[in-house]
Structure 1
C-alpha cells in the first residue's frame, strides 16, 4: 500500500470516528429533502424536555441573574469530567461577540448546557447556520435563541454607514436589512434597528431546511431576545 492510499484510508477512518462520536447511539433516518438525513437522538443522549421547557429554563436563568440569585448550575469539577465524555446541551445561542454578554453567565447555565455561537451583530452567516443546524440536529438542542443587545456597536456602525476596512463590511452588510426595516418605527433608532436585526436573523434561521423540519416536528423552537446592558434583563422580541 502506497503512502497516498494510506493517507486516504486514515482520513476516512478519522471521518468515521467523528461521525460515531457525534451521532452516539442515535438512529439516522431519511427525512429532510431527498439528500439530507434527520438524526433521531436516543433519549439517553440529552435532556428529555420540550422546546417550551428549554426556553423557560433560559428565561428563569436570566431572572435569577437579574435578581442576583444565580445558582451557578453544572459548574462543579464533577460536571466538568462528565461533559468531557459527551455533550448534551439543551439550548443553542446565536449571540453577539460583545464581551459584555457572556451567555452562560447572563442565563445562569453551566458546562454542557448551551451550544453557543457568537459573532458581531449576532448575524446568521452560512457558518453560523451550519453550526446551529449541527447543534439542533445532532446534539439535540431544543431552542435557538438569537440574542442581541442594547447599544450594539455593529448595528450602530451600520446605521451610520461607517466605512470600515477588511472583512468588517461583511458584518455590516448582513445587518442592513434590519436597519432598513426599522427606519419608520418611532422611538430609539438604534434599539429599533437592533431588534429588527434580531428578527431578520431569526427569519434566516427558520429558512434553513434542516431547522424548519425540526420546528415542524415540534423538536425545536427559534426565538429572538434582547439583552439590556444596564440591567442584565433579557426580553423576548416579537
Structure 2
C-alpha cells in the first residue's frame, strides 16, 4: 500500500524494458557454458540451458528468445554409420530452429549409410547457409590419411566416399561462410556419461588443421574465400 494520499506503485513490466536490454538478459539466461552443445546425442537432453519455462510466458518473449538460444550458442553433431538418434534435426518440423544456428561443429566418424552425408546432411547444411544464419562451420574428420583422401577425390569420382569429399569441399567453399575450419586425424571418446553434458565427450587433440587443402582444391579466386578460424 502507498502512503496516505499517494497512489500505490505499479509493478514494473519486463516487456517495458528496451529491446536491447531484454536481449542482454535473454543471452545471460540462454548461453550455455559448454563450448559446443552436442545435439546428436541419444542420451539425456543436452539443452540444459534452453529456457523452456520462459518460452511459455507469452508470444512476444517466445519469438524474441527462441532464436537467440540458437544464435548465441555453438552446436555440434557427430556423423556415425547410423544417425537415426538425431535424424529429427533434419526434418521439416525442426527447420526453423536449424536455420537459426550460427556456429556448428561436425565430427565425421563415418559417412553414414544409404548416402546419408550427400543426400541428407549436405542439403540441410546448404539450406542453413543460404536461408539461415549458419556462418561458422568446423569439420573434424576421423581419418589417419585424410590429406590423401581429400586430394584423391579431386581426380576420382568413382566412389561414394570421394563424392562425399567433393561435396564437403564445395560446402566449405561457400562464400556466405565467415569462418571455416577443417581438421583431420584420430580422435576418440573420452567419456560417454557426463552429467549435464548431454552425451559423449570427444578428445580432438590428435587432429591437425588441414584447412590449407581447401585452397589446394580451388583456383586462385576460390582461395580468397577461405577464412580459417
Question: Scaled by the length of structure 2, what TM-score is found?
Answer: 0.33
Greater relative CO, 1 or 2 (CA 8 Å, sep 6+): 1
Q: Higher Cα Rg: structure 1 or 2?
A: 2
Question: Scaled by the length of structure 1, what TM-score is found?
Answer: 0.33
Higher helix share: 1
